[in-house]
């Protein structure tokens, strides 16, 4: 991505009556803050990633109302009102507060009254966004309004931002900080669970401590081997090195959250275990068809792994917008792991969930995400960001897919003045040809796949397989 060569560019940004000004402009030197190592990593080739969140609305879209809400909510966060400026002397980047013209960030799609399939029109519009990058002469985010009625919505919006602004959980946090409950217009939404996160399983016994040390050692060894040479098996869902530059097709499918909870309670596992198990089952179902087309069976010895990000915060609670820069909620506070995906044939569909539970239980008793987070900082300090970028690219390329699960609000919400039907986050720019993201909203769970169509030409079939896997797993759970 092109970067700004001089902070003088800040003075040339256009403003009008909708512009938001900041006192920080008068004391620029005091307010310049460097990007964190993880945020800086997201500007490197192979890691230059954008997050997109598709928002379906139940009510007719009013662009002027949306713009007003964006000015009074999103722009209160400094990340959305700052440029990312490169320092040529040390190849670092800094946040530079600037004036923001909301019209430069809100894009209203031209409606096509003669379109045969509104759903396909919206899908194509979202896919075409992955062909483009946001110009670095303005804060790296935009908001697209697609005022086209589909089978599920009265209109669709796409919130897009560069991953350097924040990770998935922090971005979901700021969106929900802009939202209010439909049932109580003065109240912030609530996230599922007790809003407490702790990556490493806590235990005071010597045995537990030894287990964490051993798991961490094995995981870090596998991580380093992956960074050096250990590749996943060549399969129909594993892309080439050119996948990062390809257009992505975004397709999503919703399932009932009650079905997930039924399996969760039947097996006494976590919500994430169930969706991870369903993803493994769905991938096996999809691969079985792809291999059958070649008149061969799915091999039993496939090495398939996902890069999965772990939140390193102590809480997921939604904070007020004025607090988000200072209370540790914001930014890229993540570490990632290389997670084995067991996509072999299982006689009992519940075994996919049981295996996912065992794998995640061991991963939670490991310091791998913490070490990978510190590893980025250490290598950048010793060798520079270019080396970090190359190592990260190697790890991601040697795995098969990316996987993410972001908790969403438990109740119906109003966001930017409109009632929300669904939220579906994803990303593009990564090396993997497949990225599966999961987000909950009210009474549904949204599975969204982002695919390189040259590798996975039938993403709707993959979504069908994910949905059918949930049905099979639920049916087995009901027999317990």
Q: Which of these is catalytic: 162, 163, 357, 418?
A: 163
pLDDT at 9: 30
Cα(161)–Cα(148) distance, rounded to whole angstroms?
22
pLDDT at 4: 32
pLDDT at 7: 31
pLDDT in tens, 411-451: 999 999 999 999 999 999 988 999 999 999 999 999 999 99
Place of tokens 């016994």: 205
pLDDT in tens, 245-258: 678 999 999 999 99
pLDDT < 50 regions, the chain = 1-30, 194-198, 200-203, 326-328
pLDDT at 31: 55
pLDDT at 29: 43
pTM: predicted TM-score of the whole model, two decimal places: 0.88
Active site residue 163: yes
- Residues 6 or more apart from 97 whose CB is under 8 A from it? 22, 24, 25, 28, 31, 78, 81, 82
DSSP 251-291: EEEEEEHHHHHHHHHHHT--HHHHHHHHHHHHHHHHHHHHH
Cα(55)–Cα(461) distance, rounded to whole angstroms?
23
What is the enclosing helix (H) or strand (E) of 375?
A: helix 368-383
Longest dimension (CA), the chain: 69
Task: Show the domains of the chain with their CATH numbers.
Answer: 7-181 (3.30.559.10), 206-407+433-477 (3.30.559.30)
What's the alpha-carbon Rg for the chain, to the nearest Å?
22
Ramachandran bin of 384, using left for φ above 0, alpha for ψ from -120 to 50, beta for the remaining angles: left
pLDDT at 299: 86
pLDDT at 376: 87
């Amino acid at each position: 991505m092109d970067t700004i060569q001089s902070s003088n560019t800040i003075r040339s940004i256009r403003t009008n009556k909708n512009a938001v000004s900041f006192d920080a402009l008068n004391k620029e030197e005091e307010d310049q803050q460097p990007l964190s190592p993880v945020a800086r990593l997201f500007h490197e080739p192979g890691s230059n990633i954008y997050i997109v969140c598709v928002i379906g609305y139940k009510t007719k879209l009013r662009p002027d109302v949306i713009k007003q809400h964006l000015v009074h909510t999103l722009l209160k966060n400094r990340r959305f009102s700052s440029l990312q400026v490169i320092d040529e002397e040390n190849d670092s980047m800094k946040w530079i507060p600037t004036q923001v013209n909301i019209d430069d960030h809100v894009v209203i799609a031209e409606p096509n009254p003669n379109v045969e399939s509104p759903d396909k029109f919206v899908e194509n519009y979202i896919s075409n966004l992955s062909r483009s990058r946001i110009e670095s002469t303005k804060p790296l985010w935009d908001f697209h309004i697609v005022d086209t009625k589909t089978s599920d919505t009265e209109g669709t919006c796409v919130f897009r931002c560069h991953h350097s602004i924040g990770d998935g959980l922090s971005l979901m946090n700021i969106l929900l900080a802009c939202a209010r409950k439909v049932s109580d217009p003065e109240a912030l939404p609530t996230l599922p669970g007790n809003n407490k996160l702790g990556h490493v399983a806590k235990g005071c016994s010597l045995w537990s401590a030894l287990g964490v040390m051993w798991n961490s050692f094995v995981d870090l060894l596998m991580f380093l081997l992956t960074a050096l040479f250990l590749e996943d098996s060549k399969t129909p869902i594993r892309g080439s090195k050119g996948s990062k530059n390809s257009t992505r097709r975004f397709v999503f499918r919703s399932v009932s959250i009650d079905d997930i909870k039924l399996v969760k309670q039947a097996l006494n596992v976590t919500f994430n275990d169930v969706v991870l198990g369903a993803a493994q089952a769905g991938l096996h179902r999809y691969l079985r068809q792809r291999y059958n087309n070649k008149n061969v069976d799915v091999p039993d010895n496939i090495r398939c792994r996902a890069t999965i990000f772990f939140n390193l915060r102590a809480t997921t609670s939604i904070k007020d917008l004025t607090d988000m820069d200072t209370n540790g909620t914001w930014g890229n506070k993540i570490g990632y792991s290389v997670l084995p995906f067991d996509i072999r044939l299982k006689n009992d569909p519940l075994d996919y969930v049981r295996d996912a539970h065992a794998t995640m239980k061991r991963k939670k008793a490991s310091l791998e995400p913490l070490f990978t987070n510190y590893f980025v900082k250490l290598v950048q300090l010793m060798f520079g960001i270019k080396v970090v970028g190359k190592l990260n690219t190697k790890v991601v390329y040697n795995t098969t897919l990316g996987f993410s699960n972001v908790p969403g609000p438990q109740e119906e919400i109003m966001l930017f003045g409109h009632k929300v039907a669904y939220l579906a986050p994803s990303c593009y720019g990564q090396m993997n040809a497949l990225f599966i993201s999961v987000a909950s909203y009210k009474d549904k769970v949204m599975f969204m796949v982002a695919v390189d169509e040259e590798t996975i030409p039938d993403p709707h079939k993959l979504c069908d397989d994910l949905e059918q896997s949930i049905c099979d797993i639920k049916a087995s759970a009901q027999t317990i």
